[in-house]
Amino acid sequence: MDEMERMLNSFWWGNKGGASRGINWMKWERFCVDKKLGGLGFRSLQLLNMVTLGKMGWRLIDEPDALMCKVLKVKYFPTSDFLSARIGHSLSFTWRSILTAQDLVRREVRWQIGDGTKVRIFHDPWLRRDEDFRLALVSPTFMNNLLVHDLMIPGTRRWDVDFLQVIVDDVDLREIDLQVGECAICRGGFENLCHSFFHCPFADECWRVSNLQDFIESIIDRCDSFKQALFKIVDEKNGELKASICMLLWQIWRDRNIVVWKNVYSAPHRSVCLAADCRNDWILAREARAQHAPIPQSTSLCLGWLPISSSSIICGVDAALFASDNFMGLGLVIRNHDGGFVVEKTLKTPGTT
Ligand SMILES: [Zn+2]
C-alpha cells in the first residue's frame, strides 16, 4: 500500500524513476485531506482499505445469513460473534485482513434496542450519543450480565424508571430516556422502522385507505428488514406506484414526528390525502419545469382539514340558490374523527328567500 501511494505521489509531482526528480510540494497526508479543508481530496489507500475491511466486518454482523458470513463464522468464530472473534491459528489472508478492522468496527458499532434481550447494559454499546455508548458506571459484579430487557417493566416496552434511577446516574438516565422505545403513535408497539412505516396501526390504516396495502404486504412478506423493503420499493418498475408509496412513507414519517414534537395526531385519511396531493404537486411541478413553464400553485384539497379529537365529528355543508327555478339545494356530510364516512344528506327545498 505504501509503495502504491509512493507511486501515485511520484506520478503527481513528475518523478520519473529518478531521471527528472520533481519537488514534492505537499505531504501525501495533506493530499488526502478533503478539498474544503485545504487538501486535494485524494483517497488515502490505507484508509480506503480499512474502510472496505470494516464494511466486510459490519456485514458479518448485519447479514449473518449471507453465504460469506456463514462460511467465515463456521471456520473462525463458531461460538461467538465477529466483535468477540479472536485471532486463532491457520488464518486465511482474507480473515486476517478483516480482523484488522475489528477494532474499528467495535469502536463505532452500536446496538439498536429491540426487546433488549441481547444487549448487556454495562458492556455493550447501546446509548445514543456521539461517543462512549456505554453506561458511565462500572457494573457491580452481581449485575454483570444485566440486560437492557431487565430495565423494562415486565410485559411492556416501557422503562422501569424506579429501577433505572437506582443503577444509573442522571446523565445516563437522560440518554436512556431518549433511546428508541414505545411507539409514539399507538403506544402499543416497540418503535423501529418496520413498525413505524408498516406495522403500526396508524401506518397500516394509511396503506389500507390508500389501496396500497396488498402491494406493501407482498413486499413485507419477502423482506427481513426495512432496508430490504425500501430497496424493493425503489426497484418497482411502475413509476406512479413507486411515487405514491414513497410519498406516503414520507407523510407517515412526518405525521409521526408531529406526534412526537407537538403531540398532534393526524387521521389516516388525511395523511393519505396529503400524500396524494404532494405527489400530484410534484408531478405537475416536474412537468412544468420540463416545459420551462411556471410551477403551478399547490392543488392540495386537504390542508384545511386539521386533526380533531376522537370524540368529535366533522360536518361539511354546502348550499346553492337556483333563482331561475326558484329552489334551494342543501347538502351535508358527516365524517368521524379520522375522516371515515358517517352519514350524508341532500335537500332540495322550494323558494330562495
Ligand atoms: Zn405504533
3-state secondary structure labels for all residues of 152-215: ECCCCCCECHHHHHHHCCHHHHHHHHHCCCECCCCCCCECCHHHHHHHCHHHHHHHHHCCCHHH
Model pLDDT for residues 191-215, shown as the tens digit of each residue: 778 888 998 999 999 999 999 999 9
326 pLDDT exceeds 80?
yes
Locate the domains of the chain by residue range.
Answer: 2-43, 46-108, 110-181, 193-290, 314-350
**Could you tell me the distance, in angstroms and rounded to a whole number, from the CA of residue 156 to the centre of ligand 1?**
14
Q: Which of 58-67, 260-269, 318-327 has the lowest mean pLDDT?
A: 318-327
Contact call for residues 221 and 215 (beta carbons, < 8 A): no
**DSSP summary character for residue 141:** G
Residue by residue, DSSP assigns 67-131 as HHHHHHHHHH-TTS-GGG----SS--HHHHHHHTTHHHHHHH--PPPSSSSS-BTTTS----SSS
CA distances from 294 to 33, 203, 283, 284, 288 (A): 42, 35, 13, 10, 6
Instruction: Write the CA distances from 50 to 46, 100, 180, 312, integer angstroms.
Output: 6, 8, 31, 59
**CA distance linking residue 322 with residue 7, whole number of Å:** 88
Helices and strands in the chain, H and E counts: 14, 3
- Do residues 249 and 274 make contact, with C-beta atoms less than 8 angstroms apart? no
The CA-based diameter of the chain, rounded to the nearest angstrom, is: 106
* Per-residue pLDDT at 308: 58
Stretch 298-319: mean pLDDT: 64
CA of 189 to the centre of ligand 1 (A): 5
CA of 195 to the centre of ligand 1 (A): 6
CA of 166 to the centre of ligand 1 (A): 30
Q: How far is the CA of 203 from the centre of ligand 1 (A)?
A: 8
| Dist. CA 97–CA 329, nearest whole Å | 80
How many angstroms separate the alpha carbon of residue 207 from the centre of ligand 1? 14
Confidence of residue 304 (pLDDT cuts 50, 70, 90): very low
Q: Which residues lie below 8 Å from residue 230, measured CB to CB, with a gap of 6+?
A: none
Mean pLDDT of 309-315: 72
> Ligand 1 mean position to 172 CA, how many Å?
26
Q: How far apart are alpha carbons 330 and 332 in whole angstroms? A: 7
Q: Residue type for 45, please?
A: L
Report the separation in Å between the CA atom of 211 and the middle of ligand 1, taken as the mean of its atom positions: 20
What lies within 8 Å, CB to CB, of 294 at 6+ separation is 288
pLDDT of res. 17: 57
CA-closest candidate to residue 189, choices 202, 177, 200: 200
Could you tell me the pLDDT band of residue 300, with boundaries at 50, 70 and 90? Answer: low
Q: pTM value?
A: 0.49
**Stretch 110-119: mean pLDDT:** 80
Residues 120-136: what's their mean pLDDT?
Answer: 75
For 309, the grid coordinates are 379529537
Distance 162 CA to ligand 1 centre (A): 25
| Averaged pLDDT of the chain | 81
CB 256 within 8 Å of CB 184: yes
Specify whether the CB–CB gap between 189 and 199 falls below 8 A.
yes
Give SS3 for 240. helix
5-64 pLDDT tens trace: 888 887 877 766 555 566 777 778 888 888 888 888 888 888 899 999 999 999 998 888
- The owner of cell 445514543 is 128
